[in-house]
Amino acid sequence: MAENTCELFDSGHRACGGCGPALAAKLITRAAGPKTIIATATGCMEVFSTPYPETAWKTPWIHSLFQNSAAVASGIEASLKRQGRDDEKVVVIAGDGATFDIGILCISGLFERGHDVTYICYDNEAYMNTGIQRSGATPYDADTTTSPAGKYSTGNKRPKKDIPAILVAHGSPYVATTSVSTPKDLMDKVKRAIATPGPCYIQVHTPCCTGWGFDGCKTMEIGKMALNSGLWVNYEIVDGVLEKSRKVKRVPVDDYLKAQKRFRHLFRPEVNTEEIAKIQAIADKNAEKYGIDIKPKK
Ligand SMILES: Cc1ncc(C[n+]2csc(CCOP(=O)(O)OP(=O)(O)O)c2C)c(N)n1
Ligand code: SF4
């Protein structure tokens, strides 16, 4: 079958309808092509894509532990190099818990040793597979099972960790963020990362209808709302320099927050203007840092 007509992430998975990470897997494999070996950490994607004896992967695929997909990928890359199999590429796909928290040690090793691996984090902003616990990627004020909003708390109080900056500091030649709601951008970035020698990192915003609390038919819409609010920014950092960021005509964060159950405590029993202002300030800071605002023409 011709390369473009064959889905490399296909039927045989059991993701929730409208799952952002499942869509990311489809787009990543489309962009990466068949000469790719994929290492996936434990998490929703591993669990929903390989219900034994079925698998959705039509590429060589290996499941690693929750914590060490970067180490597994390093070994595969070293072996391919030794065998002279230069046309085959290695890609990691791991969740934010596996990336931001438990896998960071192995990721640091991979980037420091300089393996030719593309590491892709699908960021659904919590540990979904084990019951929606907060991770280092969970946004401010999100309600999770380990940062529950209630009488004494308005949700997660820690800032989202800046993993891209940490990997830029490792000297990575290519670090990018993207979203499933911008499929072409996602695929272009995957292709570019794979074509760039050395350890590259991509973080994909992957809305999770179950964990965030929205209807599965709204995944793309929620992703776009995040971009338009400035709470998520698509950018590319090449050799340590911000090369491109996606410009938007920014709208207040309110609509994005209102559309998800994980933030509903900010709107009832009354609107928590103080907390919403803090989230707006995060978006404003992002906008300034990455220069995303489209300025009105004078
Ligand atoms: C050492 C270890 N601790 C805990 C677990 C249980 N566990 C499996 S998947 C997971 C969460 C995965 O979260 P994330 O990487 O964000 O992926 P998601 O499920 O959100 O897709 C946890 C805690 C484990 N498998 N191994
Ligand atoms: S819980 Fe979230 S990440 Fe997991 S399969 Fe469902 S939508 Fe996808």
The pLDDT confidence band at residue 3, using thresholds 50, 70 and 90, is very low
Residue to probe by mutation, ligand 2, list 44, 132, 133, most atoms within 8 Å of CB: 44
Over residues 153-181, the mean pLDDT reads 98
- Whole-number pLDDT of residue 5: 55
Ligand having the closest approach to the CA of 211: 2
Instruction: Express as a percent the part of the chain with pLDDT over 90.
Output: 96
Q: Tokens 């309808």 appear where?
A: 17
How far is C-alpha 108 from the geometric centre of its chain's CA atoms?
18
Query: Minimum-distance ligand to the CA of 24?
Result: 2
The yes-or-no verdict on residue 140 having pLDDT over 50 is: yes
Q: Is residue 64 in contact with ligand 1, taking CB distance under 6 Å?
A: no
- Under the banding of pLDDT at 50, 70 and 90, the label for residue 1 is very low
Cβ–Cβ under 8 Å, residues 276 and 253: yes
pLDDT digits (tens, 9 = 90+) for 266-277: 999 999 999 999
Question: In sequence order, which residues have a C-beta less than 8 Å from that of residue 189 and are 6 or more positions away?
Answer: 176, 178, 202, 236
Protein residue closest via CA to atom 5 of ligand 1: 66
- Strand bridging mode 235-238 / 241-245: antiparallel
CA of 133 to the centre of ligand 1 (A): 10
pLDDT at 205 over 50: yes
Separation CA 63–CA 48 (nearest Å): 12
Q: What distance in Å separates the CA atoms of residue 52 and residue 236, rounded to the nearest whole number?
A: 37
Quickly state the pLDDT bin for 216 (edges 50, 70, 90): very high
The pLDDT mean for the chain works out to 96
Best probe residue, ligand 2, of 40, 208, 215, 222 (max atoms within 8 Å of C-beta):
208
d(CA 172, CA 197): 10
Q: Percentage of the chain with pLDDT > 70?
A: 98
Whole-number pLDDT of residue 6 = 77
The string of pLDDT tens digits covering residues 232-244 is 999 999 999 999 9
Query: Which pLDDT does position 49 carry in this prediction?
Result: 98
Give the pLDDT of residue 295.
Answer: 84
Mean pLDDT of 160-168: 98
Task: Give the model confidence (pLDDT) of 57-86 as tens digits.
Answer: 999 999 999 999 999 999 999 999 999 999
Q: Dump pLDDT digits (tens) for 26-48.
A: 999 999 999 999 999 999 999 99
Distance, CA of 256 to chain centre: 18
- Mean pLDDT value across residues 170-174: 98
Q: Please determine, for residue 143, whether its predicted confidence score (pLDDT) is greater than 60.
A: yes
Q: What is the DSSP string of 77-144?
A: HHHHHHHT-TT-EEEEEEEHIIIIIISHHHHHHHHHHT-SEEEEEEE-SSBTTTT-B--TTPPTT--B
What number does the ligand 1 atom closest to the CA of 21 have? 21
Q: How many angstroms does the Cα of residue 51 sit away from the middle of ligand 2?
A: 15
